[in-house]
Amino acid sequence: MADDKKPPRRERDGERQTGLVLDERTRTKKPPMYKVLLHNDDYTTREFVVWVLQTVFHKNENDAVAIMSHVHNHGIGIAGVYTFEVAETKVTKTLHLAKAQQFPLQLSIEPTD
Ligand code: TYC
Protein backbone atom coordinates (compact mmCIF):
# COMPACT_ATOMS: atom_id res chain seq x y z
CA MET A 1 0.00 0.00 0.00
CA ALA A 2 1.27 3.48 -0.84
CA ASP A 3 0.68 5.09 2.56
CA ASP A 4 -0.26 2.86 5.48
CA LYS A 5 1.26 5.01 8.29
CA LYS A 6 -1.10 5.99 11.10
CA PRO A 7 -1.65 9.72 11.70
CA PRO A 8 -0.37 11.04 15.07
CA ARG A 9 -2.92 10.36 17.79
CA ARG A 10 -4.83 13.20 19.43
CA GLU A 11 -3.87 14.35 22.93
CA ARG A 12 -5.46 12.49 25.83
CA ASP A 13 -7.18 14.35 28.66
CA GLY A 14 -4.60 16.02 30.87
CA GLU A 15 -1.96 16.28 28.15
CA ARG A 16 -0.74 19.66 27.01
CA GLN A 17 -2.88 20.92 24.18
CA THR A 18 0.01 21.74 21.89
CA GLY A 19 -1.29 19.91 18.83
CA LEU A 20 1.69 17.54 19.18
CA VAL A 21 1.83 14.34 21.17
CA LEU A 22 5.02 14.49 23.21
CA ASP A 23 7.14 11.50 24.15
CA GLU A 24 6.19 10.08 27.59
CA ARG A 25 9.52 11.21 29.15
CA THR A 26 9.23 14.70 27.71
CA ARG A 27 5.90 15.16 29.45
CA THR A 28 6.59 13.52 32.81
CA LYS A 29 10.29 13.75 33.79
CA LYS A 30 11.00 16.72 36.05
CA PRO A 31 14.61 17.76 36.75
CA PRO A 32 16.05 17.06 40.20
CA MET A 33 15.65 20.10 42.45
CA TYR A 34 18.03 21.49 45.08
CA LYS A 35 17.58 23.62 48.18
CA VAL A 36 19.91 26.58 48.67
CA LEU A 37 20.48 26.76 52.44
CA LEU A 38 21.51 29.93 54.25
CA HIS A 39 23.60 29.55 57.41
CA ASN A 40 23.56 31.91 60.36
CA ASP A 41 26.65 33.71 61.64
CA ASP A 42 27.32 36.49 64.15
CA TYR A 43 28.79 39.06 61.74
CA THR A 44 26.73 39.34 58.55
CA THR A 45 24.14 42.08 59.02
CA ARG A 46 20.42 41.32 58.89
CA GLU A 47 20.09 44.11 56.33
CA PHE A 48 22.60 42.46 53.97
CA VAL A 49 20.88 39.06 54.22
CA VAL A 50 17.47 40.64 53.46
CA TRP A 51 19.00 42.53 50.52
CA VAL A 52 20.58 39.35 49.09
CA LEU A 53 17.29 37.46 49.43
CA GLN A 54 15.53 40.24 47.51
CA THR A 55 18.13 40.82 44.78
CA VAL A 56 19.59 37.33 44.16
CA PHE A 57 16.70 35.10 45.27
CA HIS A 58 13.87 37.42 44.10
CA LYS A 59 11.94 37.33 47.39
CA ASN A 60 9.58 40.15 48.31
CA GLU A 61 10.49 42.16 51.41
CA ASN A 62 8.12 40.26 53.75
CA ASP A 63 9.41 36.84 52.66
CA ALA A 64 13.03 38.03 52.76
CA VAL A 65 12.67 39.28 56.35
CA ALA A 66 10.87 36.06 57.37
CA ILE A 67 13.62 33.84 55.86
CA MET A 68 16.41 35.96 57.40
CA SER A 69 14.69 35.83 60.83
CA HIS A 70 14.21 32.06 60.57
CA VAL A 71 17.93 31.60 59.83
CA HIS A 72 18.90 34.00 62.62
CA ASN A 73 16.69 32.10 65.12
CA HIS A 74 17.23 28.49 63.98
CA GLY A 75 20.74 28.54 62.49
CA ILE A 76 19.78 27.48 58.96
CA GLY A 77 16.98 28.04 56.44
CA ILE A 78 15.95 27.69 52.81
CA ALA A 79 16.64 30.66 50.52
CA GLY A 80 14.99 28.88 47.56
CA VAL A 81 14.67 25.66 45.54
CA TYR A 82 16.16 25.46 42.03
CA THR A 83 17.77 23.20 39.45
CA PHE A 84 21.41 22.47 40.29
CA GLU A 85 22.90 24.98 37.84
CA VAL A 86 20.64 27.84 39.01
CA ALA A 87 21.30 26.94 42.67
CA GLU A 88 25.08 27.01 42.08
CA THR A 89 24.89 30.36 40.27
CA LYS A 90 22.93 31.97 43.13
CA VAL A 91 25.40 30.63 45.72
CA THR A 92 28.38 31.95 43.70
CA LYS A 93 26.79 35.40 43.26
CA THR A 94 25.87 35.62 46.95
CA LEU A 95 29.38 34.61 48.09
CA HIS A 96 30.93 37.26 45.83
CA LEU A 97 28.60 39.95 47.20
CA ALA A 98 29.25 38.87 50.81
CA LYS A 99 33.06 38.74 50.37
CA ALA A 100 33.05 42.20 48.78
CA GLN A 101 31.74 43.50 52.12
CA GLN A 102 33.83 41.09 54.22
CA PHE A 103 30.80 39.20 55.52
CA PRO A 104 31.44 35.50 56.34
CA LEU A 105 28.00 34.42 55.09
CA GLN A 106 27.86 30.71 54.22
CA LEU A 107 25.45 28.82 51.96
CA SER A 108 25.08 25.19 50.94
CA ILE A 109 23.16 23.15 48.37
CA GLU A 110 21.20 20.00 49.21
CA PRO A 111 18.94 17.81 47.05
CA THR A 112 15.20 17.90 47.77
CA ASP A 113 13.61 14.56 48.84
N1 TYC B 1 22.83 36.60 62.95
C2 TYC B 1 23.07 37.79 62.15
C3 TYC B 1 23.02 39.04 63.04
O4 TYC B 1 22.51 38.97 64.14
C5 TYC B 1 22.03 37.94 61.04
C6 TYC B 1 22.10 36.84 60.04
C7 TYC B 1 20.93 36.21 59.60
C8 TYC B 1 23.32 36.40 59.52
C9 TYC B 1 20.97 35.22 58.64
C10 TYC B 1 23.37 35.38 58.57
O11 TYC B 1 22.23 33.81 57.17
C12 TYC B 1 22.20 34.80 58.13
N13 TYC B 1 23.53 40.15 62.56
The structural domains of the chain, with segments of one domain joined by +, span 45-113
| Helix pair 61-74, 46-55: axis angle to 10 deg | 130
The mean pLDDT of the chain is: 87
Closest C-alpha to ligand 1, atom 10: 40
107 and 91 in contact (C-beta within 8 Å)?
yes
pLDDT confidence bin for 3, thresholds 50/70/90: very low
Q: What is the pLDDT of residues 6-40, one digit of tens each?
A: 554 444 444 444 555 555 666 689 999 999 999 99
For a pocket test of ligand 1, which of 51, 54, 68, 72 has the largest count of ligand atoms closer than 8 A to its C-beta?
72
CA-nearest of 107, 40, 38, 46 to 77 is 38
What pLDDT was estimated at residue 15? Answer: 43
What pLDDT was estimated at residue 48? Answer: 99
Query: What percent of the chain is predicted at pLDDT more than 90?
Result: 75
C-beta neighbour count of 52 within 10 angstroms: 24
Give the CATH number of domain 45-113: 3.30.1390.10
Its pTM stands at 0.80
Ligand 1-lining residues (CB < 6 angstroms)? 38-42, 44-46, 49, 68, 71-72, 105
| Mean predicted confidence (pLDDT) in 72-100 | 99
What pLDDT was estimated at residue 21? Answer: 56
Separation of 42 CA from ligand 1 center, angstroms?
6
| Mean predicted confidence (pLDDT) in 76-103 | 98
Ligand 1 atom closest to 45 (CA) = 13
Burial of 44 (0-12, 13-18, 19+ CB in 10 A): buried
Ligand 1 atom closest to 38 (CA) = 11
